[in-house]
Structure 1
């Protein structure tokens, strides 16, 4: 790949399709046979390439060309990689927005991005007459349903086009490849502009960090895995999750698919691994074929890592750290966590996210809520001092689409004149480097709380409690008592331990937090599952918990 010359990310998939056309690329559970076992739809690399070429011809025939921003709102099934790679091949720009963010936010994102075309579920098209000017810029509508709809093309018809142009558009590495919207868990969702070179570098990093064996088969329980896997030449299996909501996934389904394919690696959000691992412990199941388990979206508690270590006798959990704007930034595996960092996390040091991947530069700068237009405006911090994590390199997105205000807040102009990587990205995460050169995360800057004139970071305090046997999740929030800011820890306990949580145990939690420098005055038991982001089902919505905690204290609930 020549990052400053011609490069189209589709070429990565194409290379594997031409070398190994008979290799299985994708499989998806589509139903069950009479014996109750899953039945799978499959695509070899050769079939996948043929599907992509057919859809490429169909899309070009209806006017989708290089640069066409195309909103993709479909289920994460076998159609998704065909659609996205066809758009890459054309040089069009897929726009990926998670509908789980809620209708109001979804519509605001669509207005912001101003798409030229829409490929969506029939329900989205049925709602078009009731959505005002949301689709005012759209010239081409495509439904992935089978029913005829007015002024709408059918995806199934387009993908079987036998005539027309299927060539790969010559794109530069610096050309816009896609727009991926953030989850908006700490603010308004933003459209991250990703260049072909960004995606190429991302794939190269994953391939170098986690080399793929020709026999590897991945459990793609996270939609992005179906886009990464084909570029690495591996087989990706889409399981029947039993629910579109990761927090309600059916772990029995996942176990069956792992057994059916002899899954060797898996990519899922933390809540999926939590549900799967607890199910396996309860049923006495071990996942002996898995060599690597990947997770992302939120830190994984050590209790889960320890549970998975028992369930994966020949494997290890790997937790890359990153964001929609740059992934991966760093990586660490469960063995290093168990050996070196778990005890430190349990004593208030935060979460170790490992060593920075090759090719990226990461610095820690003084936390500042204001814009920092130029690198000369920042104050660099030494190792061991918590500040904002900033990143630069080929993996880093340079802008938010049609959003100059948020772009200006998140980007810092470098001072060396590099035209390929001209900006430092402000992650919005607080963290520091330790003496061994490992990066530690201390939570979102927006989650900093205050008491007695001091500031406190969320993750270091939460990891102290998360190390306790009874605790599933915790959240440090700020409350007001008699006009003074105080610290409160809201806790979600494992159901089987809830009966054993009494006043003395709560006091022990407070004493432990005080011992590590966190003057937490209140510990409250949350009566339900924590509110979390809808994409990963793992990022805690702390502002909701803060309001709830304040209400409890105002009512005089013992804490």
Structure 2
């Protein structure tokens, strides 16, 4: 199980096929394979030894595509950097796992001086771009042109493939250590589940530093697909790229899907080539899913549920379960069933499996489970028990093994002694025709412990008030679950992966208070 296998296979079998498309530049698999072998040689000449971390701070690009296999080829481990982090957070991740070499694009070059000041261990910064390297940085293309190709290190199995940082919104980020076997088994599982088709044309618009897109990338390497890359998500750019390149598969987070399907210009583009939309990273409301399926009738929808610690996939909800047969049983509201190579169960506080239909914590076992958190033995021991990864997600499982995620265990709202799962409330709110997106949190209340509070972004030109939202919800869910407070905002705070940052929404309400509920 080594992560360069998919690229090596494509170079052998389809060397003349297009491997990547980025801003008009096209490279074949033969060209990509040659560049990766030289990048491996370049990194070794810069001192990369087996297992050493190499970072990348960049928007999406074809350089990012060759960074991953190039580091593996050299024998190193990747440390892809969240582009939305502050310099302090980035510096923490670099120093925490001793990342000595960092690749940086033009968009982030101005940050390098501060990072050098904060990171004594950062000894080499390489500029990735078509223009000349800024002062104090080495030029990637110039170095690559002179580098000698080397043989693939062929690290695999339990060898460290990367340190992927997660969190960071409430304290120090955690470095998730993933081995080759985890990422490789996930890639093969995605292909085996039919979520990525052989020879597909896949669109990278989700950030390539994030493991959701990394999983998509690895699966596309395994299936020999063409990687079409845009620097960052923009609805019009994405719609145009799908049309111009005949994109067949796209990985999108729900916030991206919402911005695409609600964009007023979507009808101007021919996106009929799109046959599969993979989504994950955060829950999707039923209302948004319905709008998306109407807006992109050519595509089926596939949900992948998981987390970074699982490489990242745990369950798959197939295209069929989004359609009528699955809808009749409510399966379209689930996260699907355990993916090939994964075991999933729902457990109580003691780790015992609960009865079907009962809510408990989701636990996962399989080759995708992480090695642990970098330099965090206590957190590792809490998360990994008897071979199982305890996710912190609350869920229930039906009689046929379909998993329904109800909420993060720690984010569950307790109001008047009743448990309220924000996902259920968000689904009800999002079904209102004037709602573009929403997020539901618990806010402190002396009488009830917590109150249900909804943040709403209206659709452009739409008008709706708090009373209408509450009345709408009361038609769908129990009264105690309905929002008691509603805030209308212009935009949701988002992480680099497109997740709504509930910690930012929650912070003003809980500042100076312990989180205690009645």
The interval holding the TM-score normalised by the smaller chain is 0.7 to 0.9
1:440 is aligned to 2:392: no
Equivalent residue, structure 2, for 1:156 = 141
1:333 CA drift (Å) = 3.8
TM-score (norm 1): 0.82
**Equivalent runs, 1:167-186 vs 2, <5 Å:** 167-184=151-168
- Residue of structure 2 aligned with 1:475, choices 439, 449, 459: 439
Q: Secondary structure at the match of 2:192?
A: helix
Equivalent-residue separation in structure 2 for 1:132 and 1:54 (angstroms): 26
The answer (yes or no) to whether the contact 2:87–2:114 under 8 Å persists in 1 is no
Cα 1:236–1:122 change in 2 (3 A) is: closer
Equivalent residue, structure 1, for 2:53 = 69
- Residue of structure 2 aligned with 1:117, choices 101, 126, 150: 101
Q: Secondary structure at the match of 2:152?
A: coil
1:329 is aligned to 2:314: yes
Equivalent-residue separation in structure 1 for 2:483 and 2:70 (angstroms): 56
Equivalent residue, structure 2, for 1:54 = 38
1:303 CA drift (Å) = 2.5
Equivalent residue, structure 2, for 1:233 = 224
Q: Secondary structure at the match of 1:106?
A: helix
Q: Secondary structure at the match of 2:357?
A: coil
Equivalent-residue separation in structure 1 for 2:469 and 2:240 (angstroms): 40
Cα 1:472–1:211 change in 2 (3 A) is: closer
1:47 CA drift (Å) = 0.5
Equivalent residue, structure 1, for 2:277 = 293
Number of corresponding residues: 502
Q: Secondary structure at the match of 1:101?
A: coil
Equivalent residue, structure 1, for 2:505 = 545
- Residue of structure 2 aligned with 1:191, choices 172, 175, 184: 175
1:526 is aligned to 2:483: no
Cα 1:550–1:512 change in 2 (3 A) is: farther
Cα 1:339–1:257 change in 2 (3 A) is: same
Equivalent residue, structure 2, for 1:427 = 391
Larger deviation, residues 448-457 vs 435-444? 448-457
Q: Secondary structure at the match of 1:160?
A: helix
Equivalent-residue separation in structure 2 for 1:89 and 1:227 (angstroms): 14
Equivalent-residue separation in structure 2 for 1:138 and 1:282 (angstroms): 45
Equivalent-residue separation in structure 2 for 1:194 and 1:102 (angstroms): 24
1:204 CA drift (Å) = 0.5
The answer (yes or no) to whether the contact 1:474–1:489 under 8 Å persists in 2 is no
**Equivalent runs, 1:481-492 vs 2, <5 Å:** 481-482=445-446, 484-492=448-456
- Residue of structure 2 aligned with 1:88, choices 72, 93, 106: 72
- Residue of structure 1 aligned with 2:334, choices 345, 352, 355: 352
1:441 CA drift (Å) = 0.4
TM-score (norm 2): 0.88
1:410 is aligned to 2:383: yes
Equivalent-residue separation in structure 1 for 2:63 and 2:71 (angstroms): 12
The answer (yes or no) to whether the contact 2:303–2:316 under 8 Å persists in 1 is yes
The answer (yes or no) to whether the contact 2:363–2:389 under 8 Å persists in 1 is yes
Equivalent residue, structure 2, for 1:9 = 3
Equivalent residue, structure 2, for 1:536 = 497
Equivalent residue, structure 2, for 1:365 = 347
- Residue of structure 2 aligned with 1:201, choices 185, 190, 201: 185
Equivalent-residue separation in structure 1 for 2:332 and 2:6 (angstroms): 37
Q: Secondary structure at the match of 1:99?
A: coil
RMSD: 2.9
Cα 1:518–1:235 change in 2 (3 A) is: same
Equivalent-residue separation in structure 2 for 1:151 and 1:479 (angstroms): 49
Cα 1:340–1:112 change in 2 (3 A) is: farther
1:58 CA drift (Å) = 1.9
Equivalent-residue separation in structure 2 for 1:350 and 1:487 (angstroms): 29
1:127 CA drift (Å) = 4.5
Cα 1:436–1:522 change in 2 (3 A) is: same
Gaps of 5+ in 2: 512-518
Cα 1:511–1:343 change in 2 (3 A) is: farther
1:201 CA drift (Å) = 0.3
1:311 is aligned to 2:311: no
The answer (yes or no) to whether the contact 1:142–1:155 under 8 Å persists in 2 is yes
Equivalent residue, structure 1, for 2:459 = 495
Cα 1:477–1:254 change in 2 (3 A) is: closer
Equivalent-residue separation in structure 1 for 2:137 and 2:506 (angstroms): 46
Equivalent-residue separation in structure 2 for 1:211 and 1:19 (angstroms): 22
Cα 1:331–1:196 change in 2 (3 A) is: same
Cα 1:383–1:278 change in 2 (3 A) is: same
Gaps of 5+ in 1: 1-6, 30-39, 368-376, 415-422, 552-559
Deviations 1:234-264 (A, max 9, x none): 0111135xxx4x4xx2x22222221222211
Equivalent-residue separation in structure 2 for 1:501 and 1:211 (angstroms): 40
Equivalent-residue separation in structure 2 for 1:344 and 1:517 (angstroms): 25
Larger deviation, residues 51-60 vs 119-128? 119-128
Equivalent-residue separation in structure 2 for 1:548 and 1:490 (angstroms): 14
The answer (yes or no) to whether the contact 1:175–1:195 under 8 Å persists in 2 is yes
1:219 CA drift (Å) = 1.7
Equivalent-residue separation in structure 2 for 1:162 and 1:130 (angstroms): 29
The answer (yes or no) to whether the contact 2:19–2:28 under 8 Å persists in 1 is yes
The answer (yes or no) to whether the contact 2:243–2:270 under 8 Å persists in 1 is no
Whose Rg is larger? 1
Equivalent-residue separation in structure 1 for 2:19 and 2:273 (angstroms): 19
Cα 1:47–1:111 change in 2 (3 A) is: same
Equivalent-residue separation in structure 2 for 1:517 and 1:337 (angstroms): 28
